[in-house]
Structure 1
Amino acid sequence: MKKVVSLMFSAVLFLGVAFPAFAAESTDVERALELIERTNIEIDKKIEKAVNEADNLQADYLLEARKIEEGKEVVKLTAEKEAVQNEILALKDEKKAEKLEQKLDQINERIQQHQLKIEEKMEEISNEMNALTVDLLNAEEKDKEKIQKKLQQLNASLNKKSEGLEALTLHYTGKLQLIIEDVYNETLEMSAKTIEKAAQAGVIAECSWKLVRFADQWVWIDPVRVVKF
């Protein structure tokens, strides 16, 4: 009987010590898991913000690139044309739709006129350069410098569009790279700190890389994944 009582007393002592220790360990694990979940939510928010910034940056870049390539007036008319087309699709009134169709024809005509002017101007410059090149071959020494200067001016006029587009592209890619680098470095640091804190509670975690699109680029970003606990 004394032996049974002794065993029961020992069990009570064991359980009294073990339960608080187990409870404390369980609480630490729960806190670590909550930390991982919070970190992943914050990482997702930062990714979403960076993706929106990248998409807006790309939209602005494409619009400015179109302005350089097509001319501001053509871009403006194209946007007006799209708005009228959408309005026609939404209309059920045939008379109103017919009027809008006439307006659409007028816009198309104006777009064609502006595009024609651009093409004529480029052709005019090209023809003038060809004529000056011929003149340069036949010119006297005293006139060559003047002709060469005029050729350089015309060439610069032809190259202005491509140079403007190149500068715009460099600016765009530079800003996009900064957005990507900032979110990549920030989320990587967040993941590393969370993984370290989780390990102290006995929870093994690691970076769970996922592919994210930022405008026209795809990048691996690193939320946290629990391996075991």
Structure 2
Amino acid sequence: MPIQAVVFDIGNVLIDWQPERHYDAVFGKARREALFRTVDLHNMNNDIDLGADLEARVREEAAKWPDWHAEIMVWHDAWLELAGPPKEHSVRLLRALRAKGAPVYALSNFGVGTFALAEEKWPFLTEFDIRFISGHMQLVKPDPAIYAALEEAVPEAPETLLFADDLPANIAAAEARGWQTHQFTAPQGFADRLVAEGLLTAEEAR
């Protein structure tokens, strides 16, 4: 069925999300590996994505691990250094789709506070027709409920949506609901898919 709207994940699709890279730069790889083995920072971040307050949740975790207090607080104090830079080709694809009149939606696991920081630094995150941000919804991918919430809010049928996400579990959850999907690995592959679907020309997808 022809695609009528494109749904973008944000982390690792429109902006990098590799917090380990910043920790390596600041503390060194060995210290970072020891930290991440000891403290489940990604689980902490999942709570933030579900709507927990960024500073309060990071301080709570830091208080549990006094030997790692400074490192854990980086998740709050330098969050904008953990994320980014933008994937400029992906941003061009977003804007090219908008220029063609294709509806574009965001469906992203993102905290309330972290998303406020991100959209201020990267204004292209305000350019979607509708944004479905997990922290505001208190639902995270791949919970089927977050996909259902998007389906209820947009006019397009599920089978006419093209969803780009980097994580296989999130892709599988969308496919289970009949969405068309693209597992994102690099902007060029997504550009090629948009051209193949007739949403953009090769020139527009550059």
Normalised-by-shorter TM-score class: under 0.3
Q: How does the TM-score come out when normalised to structure 2?
A: 0.24
Greater Rg by CA: 1
Pick the structure with more helix per residue: 1
